[in-house]
Chain A
């Protein structure tokens, strides 16, 4: 039987960590783009768009991420398309992320005083122009801290992709555990690596938030 040294375990975990990072980045950036589109829809005065977005958000915030992964994994297969864990994980995490980011950003948009909307309306700016030139530049300053904070949730969320067979850090941990029978060591290391990824972001988010509060 193959013998795994501590360094073998660690290096295997670190290799898998790359996939955790890649998946997190894709989910975060794609989720951010979808979230921005949804934000425009959610805050627009066109009722059907706002309603659609509301239901979308309710669904992705009100069901377990794990269920969403399953639904994408088995749902796409219904169309006769072969789905890789990659595709299902990317899609599910993107949509899940977008729902949360939309809600976070909506809070920031709504914290901008009504007078800013009225003044820009009175200057004949259209809704998109108001958002682009007046509201979002102000809202984005407040949004940085909670957005960075949420990126931690995205990284942790990618761990669930292991369940549909995507080999990232958690899945690698399970595989190494099955091969080495050293669960305490393996899962301690897995947890430690996640901590090293997430803690700096948490810390940074808190720091930005503190600075914003002082500035006010």
Chain B
């Protein structure tokens, strides 16, 4: 059974239909790279999966929970679906460790000591053990994004959604974040990534999704799709960015 299943989802902002019937199946351990032109609906799709956006028709289930169901407990859903943002969105008034500890203590009612141990573990995983007590303003962009990843990991999510998480970074900081994501992929974490890093999508992804005008225009195994794009739109897109 798939971990995330998206069935014919349609979503409009006013008169502007942004998702025009999207269907996708994502199994446990998949690393899905979503690529496509600006405005093709990549972020919107991702944000529908954890209920940050609502959609008009179709259905999305994540970990067996129907996202837009009438009685859906979004809180329960989000405990298992993590999200990392382009702009990091760290809480500036909290230290790195406090950022990581917040949700476990508040949502999962874990004790402070236990949460701190978890924070130490996940921050070590992203290579920031020595920055536990630093405030976001004292960290570089790459470090901030790694804290943001650690913050999501502390909830032990079953899926992690990443929306262009390296796009706001200076080029020399991109790799330190990608390495962390690659490590997660190797450990079997289910990842859905919107990305412009084509090489990363090809090398790390187990599945490639090309979105065009609000639809899944082409999908498949990344290496095969990149080697031989079937549609002219993807050929053109790969030609431009790759």
Interface residues of A (CB under 8 A from B): 113, 115-116, 118-126, 129, 133-134, 137-138, 141
Contacts and interface: CB of A to CB of B under 8 A. Distances in A.
Contacts of B74: 124
A119 B149 CA distance: 11
Nearest to B93: A137
Given A119-B91, A138-B92, A125 B52 contact: no
Nearest to A126: B75
Nearest to B148: A119
16 contacts: A116-B91, A118-B85, A118-B89, A119-B91, A120-B91, A122-B52, A122-B78, A122-B152, A123-B155, A124-B74, A124-B75, A124-B103, A125-B106, A133-B106, A134-B102, A138-B91
Contacts of A120: 91, 102
Contacts of B81: 122
Contacts of A137: 93
Q: Is the interface of A mostly helix, strand, loop or mixed?
A: helix
Interface of B: 50-52, 74-79, 81-83, 85, 87, 89-93, 102-103, 106-107, 148, 151-152, 155
B85 A125 contact: no
Contacts of A116: 89, 91
Contacts of B85: 115, 118-119
A134 B94 CA distance: 9
A115 B90 CA distance: 9
A123 B78 contact: yes
B107 A124 contact: yes
Contact of B102 (A113, A115, A118, A133): A133
B75, B78, B91: most-surrounded residue (chain A CB, <10 A):
B91
Contact of A123 (B76, B87, B93, B107): B107
Contacts of A125: 102-103, 106-107
B78 A118 contact: no
B91 A134 contact: yes
> Which 3 A-B pairs have CB atoms at the shortest separation, nearest pair first?
A119-B89, A115-B89, A124-B78
A123 B93 CA distance: 17
A174 B231 CA distance: 88
A115 B136 CA distance: 14
Given A115-B87, A123-B82, A124-B74, 8 more contacts: A118-B83, A119-B83, A121-B52, A122-B82, A123-B103, A124-B103, A134-B91, A137-B93
A126 B75 CA distance: 7
Contacts of A126: 75
A133 B82 CA distance: 19
B105 to A, nearest CB: 9
Contacts of B76: 124
